[in-house]
Structure 1
Amino acid sequence: MRHRIAVAGVAVAMAAGGLAGCGGDDGHRAAPSRTVLVPGRPGEPNKTRVEGPRKAAPPTAAEVAFVQMMIPHHAQALEMSALAPSRASDRRVRALASRIGAAQKVEIAVMRSWLQQHSEAILKAHGRDHRAHAGMPGMATKEQLGRLRDARAAAFDKLYLTLMITHHQGALTMVRNVLDRGTDVAVQEMARDVQSTQTAEIGRMKGLLAG
């Protein structure tokens, strides 16, 4: 339940960014107006000045790359989790796979929406295509995915948990590369949500393997 609330919060934050974009270019939220005190010259009274609204800083290249890479990273988790209903023998593994699949499907939709709202930032990131699987930490190989498809019962449970732990650890590496190194509120919230949720899931999966 907590994860679903967190995902909803990120979705609202990203949607808010899109709505704010109606008042400016590329979906960037403007800072609110504020009154500031301007000291006067010697013998003159102080004055007040209204500052803003000003355009918020655009997303950084690191934030663009994070969103672009996280989409296929999540997509592989969906592919792996979709195998569990017909192959896993442990109901706890099936339940975990269902939660991972449902949550990350929503996150993919949110991230795709964010990319649509930030085409200018993508161009400024030199149009680099980060969607390829190569180089993304934690991704399962084709051979590993093939073994997972062929596995059944307890063998599937063990392999799924092992691969998904590595997959989640890769996502946490990606989070560390962007967290607190950007300007976009929605992306930073997404990174924190991935960090908290997948850290907890890693603990859960390790417990299942040990049990």
Structure 2
Amino acid sequence: MRTFLIGASAAAIIAVATGCGGSNDTPGMNHNQDTTSTSPGSAGQTEHNEQDIAFAQAMIPHHQQAVDMAKMAGERATDPKVKDLATRIEGAQAPEIRQLTEMLDRWGAPTEPSMPGMDHGGMAGPGMMTDAEMQQLEHASGADFDRLWVQMMIKHHQGAVDMAKTELAKGGNAEAKALAQQIIDAQEAEISEMQAMLA
């Protein structure tokens, strides 16, 4: 009997806790948030809203393009400063891609938006290079390559910073917002570094 009462109490506590999940939405957020709130038993870690999902889905291909550009610079840049920065960008953004993918997996969301007609560049947010721009970079060499790569990466980073700032303003997941702040801090510093290279 005593065991039964303890079990019943625990069940009641779980029921109350589950019922409270998602109740601490930020005021002013849209009513669609509760459609992406957490499943029972995983509250504090996976609470999220639609903006969190959009941020992660867009930042994955955005980061992947930066990694691709960094690998290109690692092979073809002539300026040691460019090569060093490219190495650091790849080292920082590849793990962030894994983190973003893991977050989406925990939320039960796909890594790409389920919107027909959206291509890799179209849905990835600001700062993404077009196919034509990537071909231009492919065909450049020497100091021209270094300059063009830095110019493109500044634009790319500025786009990521804008996306991260939107996540800070509208997101609901603590891990996603912490990652957004990390992206802002790192990439704003790298933008300043690249601007100094061009100067």
> Are the structure 2 counterparts of residues 87 and 105 from structure 1 closer, same or farther at C-alpha, using a change threshold of 3 Å?
same
Between structures 1 and 2, the one with greater strand share: 1
Please tell me whether the aligned partners of residues 82 and 97 of structure 1 are also in contact (alpha carbons under 8 angstroms): yes
Structure 1: state its 5+ residue gaps: 1-23, 31-55
Match of 2:93 in 1: 104
Match of 2:174 in 1: 185
Pairs within 5 Å for 1:33-112: 58-112=47-101
Match of 2:140 in 1: 151
Aligned equivalents of 2:142 and 2:41: distance in 1? 48
The Cα shift of 1:147 comes to: 1.2
Aligned equivalents of 2:148 and 2:178: distance in 1? 31
Aligned equivalents of 2:101 and 2:61: distance in 1? 11
Residue 164 (str. 1) matches residue 127 (str. 2): no
The Cα shift of 1:151 comes to: 1.3
Amino acid in the other structure paired with 1:95: D
Amino acid in the other structure paired with 1:174: M
RMSD: 2.3
The sequence identity of aligned pairs, in percent, is 34
Structure 2: state its 5+ residue gaps: 1-37
Match of 2:29 in 1: none
Query: Which of structure 1's runs of 4+ aligned residues deviate more than 4 A?
Result: 126-131
Please tell me whether the aligned partners of residues 81 and 100 of structure 1 are also in contact (alpha carbons under 8 angstroms): yes
Q: 1:117 aligns with which of 98, 101, 106?
A: 106
Between structures 1 and 2, the one with greater helix share: 2
Match of 2:122 in 1: 134
Amino acid in the other structure paired with 1:72: P
Cα deviations by residue, 1:50-77 (Å, 9 ceiling, x for unpaired): xxxxxx8831101110000000000000
Please tell me whether the aligned partners of residues 68 and 131 of structure 1 are also in contact (alpha carbons under 8 angstroms): no
Cα deviations by residue, 1:2-60 (Å, 9 ceiling, x for unpaired): xxxxxxxxxxxxxxxxxxxxxx8277434xxxxxxxxxxxxxxxxxxxxxxxxx88311
TM-score between both structures, scaled by the size of structure 1: 0.69
